[in-house]
Structure 1
């Protein structure tokens, strides 16, 4: 059975949603980042990087949301969670997820989770960096009501994580980001996503 190591509300929610959407049998193990459980010897033996998510499979551990989402989609092709039969579209799916992990996530992480918190000019610059990236998604990266157009894919659950962070930080102005706000509400309305929120002890935002 698959085993997912996650931390509530963190980016690992994307992998949690992916498993729930896939219908696969899995166990979910909560890692408390505030208590430093990601740095314990037991967890470092699973993921030496000391972050979540990590997915234990019968062949070994997979880390990084983009990789986990691709794995789940390809091992559960009957669920149509990614365009696995179309190499070009699958590359676009992977590119979007890679951009979330390498570009949007670091920008939002710096703004929201720097310790000590950013202040003054540094905070202003960090806010603008995040808004620029959100605008890129709003204006050019969303292909339709879903990330890939008319069909939900696991990229939507990944994007939702950062939309939740943005709305919670009052960065997702409805007038400026109508598409992202509608997308967030659409994803949070999915039954699988609601089950994940409940399992992680979270409410829709």
Structure 2
């Protein structure tokens, strides 16, 4: 039987999918997509994901999921007997809201301006202003995310696939010196203590021991 295959780029949002696959103890292959080199726009990758985005997850039957939230929910529902996807419909709704907020707002509106300011203006002189605006938006959206979590512990109380989704923007905040609200800093440090997170960060070229130090 063929293994799943994760198409990813180290340090990107695909880190969340990488962590989830490790958490559910799924055997999978990794295909690294070099985005700066334009590999995501080559015909062979567009045949897998016409959007040219990462991550993509090819399932054992050959079908492909091309959206991070869909990947997270599918793995949560279908691996380890659904252990990391809540059974309660109310918690399912909360999980989706957290993930949509992270991907669409924290990432899509905030960090995207920090990492790719050229996508928002053709004028290179406006890049610094765009990045500054991205930091402001990311900070605001992270504060809103903090209000969506349980007061302590993981996002929904017990660990779920929503936690690695939240983790990747916390990781980005740490790497770019965007302050994390206290609740998210606690969550980030909790996640850094998980074996799967440690393994993935090491595999992707980061030293977990140097992360989570900011107050």
Same fold (TM over 0.5): yes
Residue 202 (structure 2) aligned to one of 184, 198, 203: 198
Q: How does 1:29-178 map to 2 (within 5 A)?
A: 29-57=31-59, 58-78=61-81, 80-83=83-86, 85-106=87-108, 107-115=110-118, 116=124, 118-120=127-129, 122-138=130-146, 140-143=147-150, 144-149=152-157, 151-172=158-179, 177-178=181-182
CA contact (8 A) 2:102 2:145 kept: no
Deviations 1:71-123 (A, max 9, x none): 0011114362120x222211221221122111111121112332357224x44
- Give 1:133 shift: 0.7
CA contact (8 A) 1:22 1:79 kept: no
Residue 185 (structure 1) aligned to one of 185, 189, 196: 189
Structure 2: where are the runs of 5+ without partners?
A: 119-123
RMSD: 1.7
- Give 1:43 shift: 0.5
CA distance in 1 between partners of 2:82 and 2:197 (Å): 15
- Give 1:66 shift: 0.5
Task: Give every structure 1 segment of 4 or more consecutive aligned residues whose post-TM-superposition deviation is greater than 6 Å.
Answer: none
Q: How many residues align?
A: 198
What TM-score, normalized by structure 2, do the two folds share? 0.86
Residue 28 (structure 1) aligned to one of 4, 27, 30: 30
Structure 1: where are the runs of 5+ without partners?
A: none
